[in-house]
């Protein structure tokens, strides 16, 4: 294990209020023989919360290689982090590890459901492929389209937190040097747009490799042999601020060594990273995978990356059965969709990375169920946090109800604020997709103020929702509204948090 103190370049990147003289305790240790072997292990990719790692190994894979203890081609393995330790690595199935080809994991989405792979081709070049996790099974990999792949070599990639941008390394024509970092962004139809070079602010006249975008969506890590530094390939970072990428900063020793240091990835919390190296101590083979732990000395000033990880399990509210559900993330202020994912069909697990500075609507939908919504508002100054929110969906059945957590009114007002339109659209879609559904929209308050005042206020707010739905074409006889004041609290009225929960609009299924 290597332990050293130095100025924390990473700390400055991810902890915005760090001072120039801040220092950090860096510990680099081998992840162990559960992952590493006497052969090469490299290119770790990891879920944002650190619960699973996928990596590439040259250990014997085929029966012939195993029998002769002969180094194999590149193949993809995974390990889960359970009970505070990595479990024994297992190979992914043959759909991923295609025999007689070089197969390497190069990226995974924050929630671990979207995997990018490198595969060689018959011309000696390589391309980027993708696979999706359906329950417990990975789909057959498909080659990514031409805006990302080209006739030249594409070697590594990374998926943005919202899933809408892929950063990748390519040696195609039109770059700054040899292998450059490029990116492609999805358009409104879900198609990948033209590849764009990240520019000379990041790319050198030589080669870049091992690109990784942090879950904060703005901190880019990559390796380069053209930026100067400690060794051959060194790891650098650049931050997207004020509409441009900052000048790359070398992470320095002890992370960078005189040899090649590549494929650096970091957890959402900004405290733990992984990379492959050949020059560190505690080596079990050739290239090994190492864990890097960053502990800022000035703990009181530590805020963490500017993001929130929201994760949990989606399940049936009665049976507890895990559900595959669509999870839409929207910006309430801009009334626009940010991204969408699905919970895992087998486990119900979901994970969403939410960069700070937005008021989010998180909506969960599954066929045959009432939608669930929650509000997560994250100011620019918010500290890093992880929120575990298990979501229980109610079936579309008489008597079941849903709290509309993203319906907003000004104080003492009954007019809908514009931030409510995403939620109103969710309710509108439910009614349009279930034409026999009839609902009651009800308003509720805390117990401050008179009975009459609260009843009138709650009724006016429920009526505002119904009026909006009618204006969008929902038949009047499918809707009714009611104001119950503080008659039906769902939390205590003795605390601010409890009163906030009681001030709500909800709907109940009357018939379907």
Per-residue pLDDT of the chain (512 residues; tens, 9 = 90+): 443 333 344 443 443 333 333 568 899 999 999 999 999 999 999 999 999 999 999 998 877 777 778 888 899 999 999 999 999 999 999 999 988 788 999 999 999 999 999 998 767 688 999 999 999 999 999 999 999 999 999 999 999 999 999 999 999 999 999 999 999 999 988 899 999 999 999 999 999 999 999 999 999 999 999 887 776 899 999 999 999 999 999 998 889 988 888 999 999 999 999 999 887 777 887 899 999 999 877 655 556 788 999 999 999 999 999 999 999 999 999 999 999 999 999 999 999 999 999 999 999 999 999 999 999 999 988 889 999 999 999 999 999 999 999 999 998 999 999 999 999 999 999 999 999 999 999 999 999 999 999 999 999 999 999 999 999 999 999 999 999 999 999 999 999 999 999 999 999 999 99
Whether 308 and 324 have beta carbons less than 8 Å apart is answered as no
- Expressed in angstroms, the distance from the first to the final Cα of the chain is 63
Whether omega before 103 lies within 30 degrees of 0, making that bond cis, reads no
Domains and CATH numbers, the chain: 31-277 (2.120.10.30), 306-395 (2.60.40.1120), 397-512 (3.30.1330.60)
Q: What is the pTM of this model?
A: 0.89
In 150-259, which ranges are continuous DSSP H helix?
none
Alpha carbons 338 and 160: distance in angstroms, whole number: 12
The pairing of strands 336-342 and 438-444 is unpaired
Q: Quote the CA–CA distance of 510 and 370 in Å, as a whole number.
A: 13
């Amino acid at each position: 294990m290597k332990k050293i103190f130095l100025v924390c370049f990473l700390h400055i990147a991810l902890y915005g209020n760090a001072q120039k003289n801040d220092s950090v305790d860096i510990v680099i240790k081998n992840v162990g023989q559960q992952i590493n072997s006497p052969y090469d292990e490299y290119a770790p990719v990891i879920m944002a919360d650190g619960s699973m790692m996928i990596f590439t190994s040259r250990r014997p894979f085929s029966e012939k290689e195993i029998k002769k203890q002969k180094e194999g081609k590149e193949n993809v393995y995974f390990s889960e982090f359970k009970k505070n330790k990595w479990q024994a690595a297992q190979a992914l199935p043959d759909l991923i590890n295609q025999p007689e080809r070089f197969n390497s994991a190069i990226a995974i989405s924050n929630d671990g459901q979207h995997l990018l792979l490198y595969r060689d081709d018959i011309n000696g070049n390589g391309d980027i492929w993708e696979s999706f996790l359906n329950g417990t099974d990975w789909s057959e990999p498909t080659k990514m389209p031409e805006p990302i792949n080209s006739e030249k070599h594409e070697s590594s990639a990374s998926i943005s937190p919202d899933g809408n941008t892929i950063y990748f390394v390519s040696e195609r024509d039109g770059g700054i040097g040899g292998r450059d970092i490029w990116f492609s962004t999805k358009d409104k139809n879900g198609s990948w747009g033209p590849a764009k070079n990240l520019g000379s602010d990041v790319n050198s006249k030589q080669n870049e490799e091992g690109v990784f975008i942090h879950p904060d969506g703005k901190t880019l890590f990559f390796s380069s042999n053209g930026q100067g530094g400690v060794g051959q390939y060194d790891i650098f970072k650049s931050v997207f601020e004020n509409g441009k990428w900052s000048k790359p900063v070398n992470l320095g020793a002890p992370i960078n060594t005189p040899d090649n240091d590549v494929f650096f990835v970091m957890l959402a919390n900004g405290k733990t990273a992984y990379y492959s190296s050949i020059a560190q101590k505690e080596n079990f083979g050739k290239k090994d995978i190492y864990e890097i732990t960053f502990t800022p000395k000035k703990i009181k000033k530590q805020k963490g990356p500017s993001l929130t990880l929201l994760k949990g399990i989606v399940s049936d509210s009665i049976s507890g059965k895990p559900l595959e559900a669509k999870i839409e993330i929207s910006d309430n202020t801009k009334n626009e969709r940010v991204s969408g994912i699905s919970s895992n069909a087998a486990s119900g697990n979901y994970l969403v990375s939410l960069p700070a500075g937005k008021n989010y609507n998180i909506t969960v939908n599954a066929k045959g169920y009432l939608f669930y919504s929650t509000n997560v508002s994250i100011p620019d100054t918010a500290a890093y946090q992880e929120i575990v929110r298990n979501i229980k969906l109610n079936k579309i059945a008489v008597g079941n109800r849903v709290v509309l957590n993203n319906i907003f009114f000004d104080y003492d007002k009954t007019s809908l604020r514009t931030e409510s339109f995403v939620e109103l659209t969710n309710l509108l879609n439910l009614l349009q997709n279930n034409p026999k559904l009839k609902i009651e929209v009800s308003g509720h308050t805390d117990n401050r103020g008179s009975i009459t005042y609260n009843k009138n206020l709650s009724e006016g707010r429920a009526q505002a929702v119904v009026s909006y739905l009618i204006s969008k074409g929902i038949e009047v006889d499918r809707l009714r509204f009611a104001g119950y004041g503080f008659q039906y609290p769902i939390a205590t009225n003795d605390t601010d948090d409890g009163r906030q929960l009681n001030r709500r609009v909800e709907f109940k299924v009357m018939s379907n």
